[in-house]
Amino acid sequence: MTTPLVETISIASYIDHTLLKPEATTADVTALVAEAIALGTYSVCVSPSMLPLTIPADADLKVAVVCGFPSGKHHSVIKAAEAALSIAQGADEVDMVIDIGAAKSGRFADVQADISAVRSSVPAPKVLKVIIESAALTDAEIVAVCEAAVAAGADFVKTSTGFHPAGGATVHAVRLMKRTVGDRAQVKASGGVRSFDDALAMIEAGASRLGVSGSAALLAGAVPTGAAGSY
């Protein structure tokens, strides 16, 4: 069944077209930008070492970059410095990873302080997304971390890095995250969002942004081959 063009365009506007593989080259990122423009995605999401990017002046394309990625086990000072450099090099949005161990230990004040440190380097209207690695957390931990993110001034809470062995986004996690943050923040679903149906399900659950590496295949209504381990 052919995907209606208007629906495809609508889904594209939710997508952060993502390339975070360690082996990614400058040429790969240049191709990513070109593909994102052709597809009409909201942004590209890349590693900080790939900045600055060359974006055509007439392109309506945001630049997102990860921070403290993928483990989150970086000192807050380092995360804040990384975020500040990314903003100086042209990033519009920063997707930071929390210290998952702090959350698992119930140290939610430390999680909030970590997010606050990065928020100080990402002043509005720049956007801060907080990756909570939802598959590694209990429901109670998800709620507590989302509350910490909102208290620290985050614009988004985000499910996953796409690299954790516990897995990526689920409809349950997205729904819980959205119910927790309400109108105080937005939700980004990432990790394992590979098909058009996956995308629709995440949006219906409350996601207003999607992290997708196989964007062209998703928008065509197909599941990309070799998807294991993709963002």
Question: Which two three-digit tokens encode residue 80?
Answer: 């804040």
Of residues 14, 2, 64, the one with CA closest to residue 39: 14
DSSP letter assigned to residue 19 = E
Catalytic residue, from 16, 95, 99, 198: name it. 95
Beta-carbon count within 10 A of 149 CB: 31
Largest CA distance in the chain: 50
Residues present in the chain in total: 231
Q: Which amino acid is at 23?
A: E
Is 188 in the active site? yes
Find where tokens 């295949």 sit: 217
Q: What is the separation of C-alpha 197 from the centre of its chain, rounded to a whole number of angstroms?
A: 19
Give φ, ψ of 44 to 5 degrees. -110, 150
Catalytic residue, from 16, 99, 129, 158: name it. 158
Beta-carbon count within 10 A of 157 CB: 30
Instruction: Report the C-alpha gap between 82 and 48 in whole angstroms.
Output: 8
Is 155 in the active site? no
Is 58 in the active site? no
Catalytic residue, from 16, 79, 188, 198: name it. 188
CA-based torsion, 118, 215, 12, 222: positive or negative: negative
Residues labelled as active-site residues: 95, 158, 188
